[in-house]
Amino acid sequence: MIIWDNLFRGRMDKDFKDLIKRGNVEFIKVDLTKMDALDDLEKDFECVYHLAAINGTRYFYEIPEKVLEVNVKCLINVLEASVSAGIKRLLFSSSSEVYNVPETVPTPETERLLIPDVTNPRFSYAGSKIIGELFCLNYGKKYGIESIIVRYHNIYGPRMGLEHVIPEFILRMKELSGDFKNRKFDFPIQGSGEETRAFCYVTDAVEGTVIAAERGKAGEIYNVGNDREEVKIRQLANLMAKILDVDITIKPGELKKGGTPRRCPKIDKLRKLGYEPKVSLEQGIKETIKWYMDHWEGIKPH
């Protein structure tokens, strides 16, 4: 296995180096937006997993031009390199963001895709993923690549950076408590707290991704997520506070335009291939919090 990445949102730390050694994995640091980045792509690869993208809601608003440039250019270069190398199968990582505010929840893969406001930078990410799906299903098909698309739904876990709701909550609780010296404090959030999400732990997401790549049908789209625990954001905050042993009073705030009030995937298609999420929300949150507390010095914001 070879991993190509520029470490924009990752780190070459001891854990990652150990993983590479144990797994017989080669790592190549490279900018995939460059046309020659994959000149050494080997012809004997069975499948390419294209997971590279700028993710993280904060980035959608702050650097939408880079989100579009990186996410679209990377995919085009990966597709062209795969065609040149004779790769027959490619998995593309899309997102539940393409549904925007879905008409049906739990949401099936047949749900219409929507960009409600092209002037809102948030949709740079959803737009890049819709473009990516179109490229895979049309360009890829024309040149003989079997494309599989997975739409991830709120994947979380260790090593996910600081740009998503769960690590943001950890950081906010740490700061507001004064490194947990103050055990009772107000906790501001975006929105009313009644908004819901169905979070999926990273190990379940990995299993679902591999199942889709190995057993999925060419040209098909599969939701990857966990439909067992759709929770309100205020419930998530309270669960995290309980694990961190703090007492919070949630203070609702303004919700940024473009978010969806409810998100939960329908995963029947992937279940038929043998997928079943295993990690409960409480178990996954405990593991995630422990990792962030143990690795804080290496990831703390500057």
- What CATH number does residue 260 fall under? 3.40.50.720
What pLDDT score does 301 carry? 61
The reply to whether 17 falls in a domain is no
How does pLDDT run across 102-154, given as a tens digit for each residue? 999 999 999 999 999 999 999 999 999 999 999 999 998 899 999 999 999 99
**Could you give the C-alpha distances from 140 to 17, 72, 123, 200, in angstroms and in order?**
33, 14, 24, 29
| Residue at token pair 């031009």 | 65
CA-to-CA distance for 243 and 58, rounded, in angstroms?
A: 25
Q: What is the pTM of this model?
A: 0.95
Q: Is residue 142 included in any domain, yes or no?
A: yes
**Tally of structural domains, the chain:** 1
124 three-class SS: helix
Q: Which tops the pLDDT comparison, 71 or 26?
A: 71
Quick check: is 44 in a domain? yes
| Domain annotation covers residue 8 | no
On whether residue 1 sits in a domain, the answer given is no
- Show the domain range for 113: 31-299
Is 15 a member of any domain? no
Does 273 fall in a domain?
yes
Structure tokens belonging to residue 224: 């990857």
> 165-176 vs 281-294: helix axis angle to the nearest 10?
60
Look at residue 21 and tell me if it is in a domain.
no
The answer for 115, left when phi > 0, alpha when psi is -120 to 50, beta otherwise, is: beta
